[in-house]
Amino acid sequence: MSKAACQGCRSGEPLPFHFTMAFHPIVDVSKRSVWGYEALVRGTEGQGAGQILAMVDEANRYKFDQACRVKAIELAGSLYPDAETKLSINFMPNAVYEPAACIRATLEAARRVGLAHQQIMFEFTENERMVDVAHVQRIIAEYRKQGFATALDDFGAGYAGLNLLASFQPDFIKIDMDLIRGIATSPARQTIIACVVTMARTLGITVIAEGIETEAELGTLRAAGIRLFQGYLFARPALARLPDVHFAASETASISLLAGGQAA
- Provide the pairing of β-strand 228-230 with 20-28: antiparallel
Phi, psi of 158 (to 5 degrees): -110, -140
Phi, psi of 23 (to 5 degrees): -115, 130
CA distance 66 to 105: 7
Q: Which of 40, 39, 123, 118 is nearest to 85 (CA)?
A: 118
CA distance 137 to 125: 14
CA distance 224 to 192: 10
Residue 232 identity: Y
From 38, 126, 128, 210, the catalytic residue: 210
Is residue 207 within 8 A of residue 196, CB to CB? The reply is: yes
CA distances 91 to 39, 80, 106, 135, 180, Å, are 11, 21, 11, 14, 24
CA atoms within 13 A of residue 139's CA, in its CB half-sphere: 24
Query: Is position 210 annotated as part of the catalytic site?
Result: yes
Active site residue ranges: 210
